[in-house]
Each structure stands twice: as structure tokens, then as C-alpha cells.
Chain A
Amino acid sequence: MIVLGIETSCDETAAAVVTGQRQILSNEVLSQLDEHRPYGGVVPEIAARAHLDAIDHIIARAMATANVTYPELDAIAATGGPGLIGGVLVGVMTAKAIAAVHQKPFIGVNHLEGHALTVRLTGDADNNEVEFPYLLLLVSGGHCQLLIVEAAGAYRRLGTTIDDALGEAFDKSAKMLGLGYPGGPALEKWAMDGDPIRFDLPRPLKGRAGCDFSFSGLKTKVRQTIENLPAGPVTDRDKADICAAFQNAAGDVLIDRCNNAIDLFLAAHPAGRHLVVAGGVAANQSIRSRLAALCKARKLSFAAPPLDLCTDNAAMIAWAGLERLKAGDVDDLSFRPRPRWPLDPDAAPAIGGGVKA
């Protein structure tokens, strides 16, 4: 089976061709970093325009690199939400049009499911297939949740952020320090040389029952810390120390929440073996190594996609499409894109979480 995947839900225009044998035949990603950099964040209308400008060229390149023709495809999958609706529409309409011309199934993929199932494509550290069920920490600029992945399409949410996503807190803290765009990776770089204990930052919800997250208080304290520095320019030392303190605090919260989630996961699935991390923040090396250490302590196997498949990409959308296609779960061409689309529809929306919950 061969599926073309298309991703346009945030600031990457991406297309990829993936096979049912876990082969990525092509994986094209065009980032819009330059378009959004002056604004210090993703501007929805600029993103939507850039997606339309690029999408057909990116798809043509993915098909050419994969050396696959449209009739050889078994389905066309596109991110159908959640995300910035202007961009999602561009990808969905292009995918539907291709599906219509070649009478192929169209699959509107949940972007979060793309992240959630990526390890099934890439395998664990030893390249073994990751079997259901597994515990998933999904942590990106738009989302921060802990879920049990029971099967493709079957998710049980254990906890979610009640305010900001962690990636958002990374980006905004970096922005307040003027570290450049995108902020998350810049903050990680600065944190490497920093002293994590010079500044005292809070660990919201740490030690409390449950698996929910909260990061707005941490973000506010970063702001106050910067404002309370002695007069004059912020020194490189200050920047590095604030970054290290932030990353350390965020990591403490993640570990605490994951620990609770592991208890719940193992209670529900005593034979469960994997903790999986996915989403853009999963590219952070400090957080990755702390999660790997937690897994070792809890005798679980740690699985994380390679860095380029943690951030937004279309290979994960093609793969999620493949899993849906195998299950016979395809969409009609009247599919309606969904700006909000929780993985676990039974979970109550978290107060304050907005679309992130």
C-alpha cells in the first residue's frame, strides 16, 4: 500500500509518500519560518497564503522524489484538523481534488493522530515495531496531553493542559528574552550554558494528583523574572540562566505528570511496554533524555520519533492515513475540516484549555 500525505495545519507546507512496509519514499517539508519571523509567531493569514503558493509544487516534488505516479497511490491523506483552518483547507481541497481525478480514497487525518502514530512508522530505539497499547506524551506548540493509545482511532486521554501548551510557553519565553524565532529551539540552545538554579521558577501542578498540565504561571514568572533584573541590558548570563531554569522547571513538571500517567497506564494495561513522546517539543534533547531516564526507572521502553519526524511533517499524515486505510476507515469527499478535533472525543473539554484540550 502507498499513501500520499499532505500537511498544512500550521507553518510547514509538507507532502510525503509512505508505504505500508514502513518505508518513507519521500518527505518534503517547506518551512514558513522567514514569513513569520518578523511577527515572532505564526500569523494565520500569512500561513494560509504561503500554503496555497507552495502546496502543488511540494506535492509534485514529493511524487517525483518517491518515483510514484498518482494511479499507483492507494489513498490520499491530508491533515483535516485540528489547526489553523485557512491552511488546513488548502491541503484538504488539494487532496480531495487529486482523489477525485484518480478515483482514490480520501482520508482526512487528525493531525494529533499523525503525531501519535509516528512511532509505529519509525519503530523504537532498536527499530522494533511499537505495539498497541502505549502511553503517549504529545507535546507541541499547540498541544500538551497524556493519552493511552489503544489502537489507531482509540485514544483515552489521561490529562491535558488547562491553559498553555508547553511549546507555546517555550516560544513565548524565548520571545520575551529576544532569542530569535523559532523560540523553542533557541531557548534549548541557550539553556545548555545556563545555571538552572540561579532563578527560582514554579513547577505548576507538580506533586498534585492527576495528569493535567498548566504552564501559564511558569510563563508569567519568566516575565516577572526578566522585568525584575537589574536595570540595563539583559546579559547573556541572565539569558542562559533563565533558559536553563525554565527548561528544568518544565522538565520537572513533565516527569511528575508522566509518572502519574504511567501508574494509570500500567493499571489499565499491566503488559503495556512503551512510553512514547511526540510533537515538536519532543525534539528537545534535555526533555528526551529525562523521559528516557524515567522510562528506565519505571522499566518501560522509551520511544521517540527521529527529530525531523517530531516536528510537523507529512510522512506522519501519510502513515496515519495508511493505518486508517487498513482499517477501512476513509472519508467522503464532502469531509468538513475541523479546527478543533480532540483525539479522545469522550474526554470533557478542560476548562481554560480552549482548542488545546
Chain B
Amino acid sequence: MKILALDTATTACSVAACRDGKTLASAHELMVRGQSEALIPMVLAVLAQARMEVRDFDLIAVTRGPGAFTGLRIGLAAARGLALASGVPCCGISTTQAIAEAARRVESDRQPIIVALDSKRSDIYIQAFDPHGIAVCEPQAIAVTDLRQRIDGLALTGAAGPVAVVGDAATRALALLPDGYYRSSAPDVPDARDVASVAAQLHATGQQLPAPIPLYLRPADAALPKNGGRLRP
């Protein structure tokens, strides 16, 4: 199984070429903006290093959200463009699952993991995983006022010990949570190698891979004008 994976969902840009669980070539750069300039040259550099072309892959995988709307569209448009032009199938992996994948390697005790991502708003994007890495809820936007109650409701703490929290909103989330949660030292941004790894695991289960469509978790900001903007009846 050869997978070409991309991520531009948050504050990084990364590309990985993987085969059967091994990384053939990869690149990862932290960046707040500029992914639209960096991504395709990075894809070509990784392909050159792996001595492969896009059409050599069995699957293209990309983070589909949650994340920054612009970043999601940069990665998804690029991945879908690569797929369209090469005929290689394409799937979307949730950003939170890719981050949890890396955290599982760091948290050797196999703790439950909560991924908390910055929404640039008052709410926080959350997804929680059990010690086996199985998602116990869908990625969701949770208001900070509801966070503690919602996380408590997942009953993650207990026999498995404390819960690791990771992601660029982990510190914000931890401030709202009681004892029993700690900050993971795993990276807060996704890495395309983990995107490929999650895609390979999903593929191995035989289930249909999620489509490369964005997971915005919030409707577009737009206010309806009064009377459709008409001045008089």
C-alpha cells in the first residue's frame, strides 16, 4: 500500500510518501501562513526523494478538518487536484485523528487521548480517543462553558489513569478541566506521516475511506440582510 499524504490544516505544512507503514520520504515545516506557496513544491521534493510519481501511489490522503478553513481548502484542493489528474483515489482524514496517532506513540502507557484544536473563536475543536486509539466521539466544536461537562460525560478518566491532552488548544482546554488530565508532550500540529498511517489503518479494516470533503464544524459566517436589503416595501 503506497500512500501520498498531505496536511495544511493548522499551522504546519507537511507531505509524506509511505509504503506499507514505512516512510519513504517526508517533509514538515511549521508555518502560520504561506501553505499555498509551499505545499506543491514540497510534494515535488518528497516525490523526487522517494523516486516516485503521483500515479505510482495507491491512495492520496489529506487532513479534512477540523482546522483553519483556508488551510483545509489549500490541502483538499491540492489533494483532489492530484487525484483528478492522476486517477489515484483520494480520502480525507480528520486532523484530530492524525494528531492522536502521534500522541499514541509518545504516551507509552496507552492513555486515553483528547485532541483540542484552536478554532480562532471562543469554542474549541475536540475529539477524544480510548486507549486503543478508537474515537469515542466525532470531532466537534465545544463552547468553553460546556467543555468540562461534555468531557466528563465521555467518562475517559478512571481505570486507565490520567488522560493526555494534545493539540494547539490543549493548554486552554486543560485550564477548564479538573485533575486527571495532563498535557501530552506530543506535537500539537499534524504530520503527514501520521495522516498516511491513519489512512493505512482505515484501509486495512476494509471499511470505505472517508471522502476528501471538508469538516468545517461551523456554518459560514453570514448575516441575512433585513428585508433582503430592500429599503421600502
Contacts and interface: CB of A to CB of B under 8 A. Distances in A.
A230 to B, nearest CB: 11
A333 interface: yes
A282 B77 CA distance: 32
B70 A234 contact: no
Given A97-B77, A178-B228, A223-B231, A335 B84 contact: no
B220 A334 contact: no
A93 interface: yes
B37 interface: yes
A190 interface: no
Contacts of B54: 100-101
Which size bracket describes the interface of A in this complex? 35 or more
Contact of A175 (B36, B44, B216, B229): B229
Contacts of A234: 232-233
A258 interface: no
B222 interface: yes
A94 B36 contact: no
A177 interface: yes
Interface in A56-115: 56, 59-60, 70, 85-86, 89-98, 100-102
Contacts of B80: 55-56, 94, 97
Contacts, number: 132
Nearest to B53: A101
29 contacts: A38-B228, A39-B223, A43-B220, A45-B222, A49-B214, A49-B216, A52-B77, A53-B213, A55-B77, A86-B73, A89-B36, A93-B36, A93-B40, A94-B80, A96-B81, A97-B85, A100-B44, A101-B81, A102-B85, A176-B231, A177-B230, A178-B230, A178-B231, A223-B231, A229-B232, A233-B233, A332-B41, A333-B40, A334-B37
Interface of B: 34, 36-41, 43-44, 53-55, 69-70, 73-74, 76-86, 213-214, 216, 220-225, 227-233
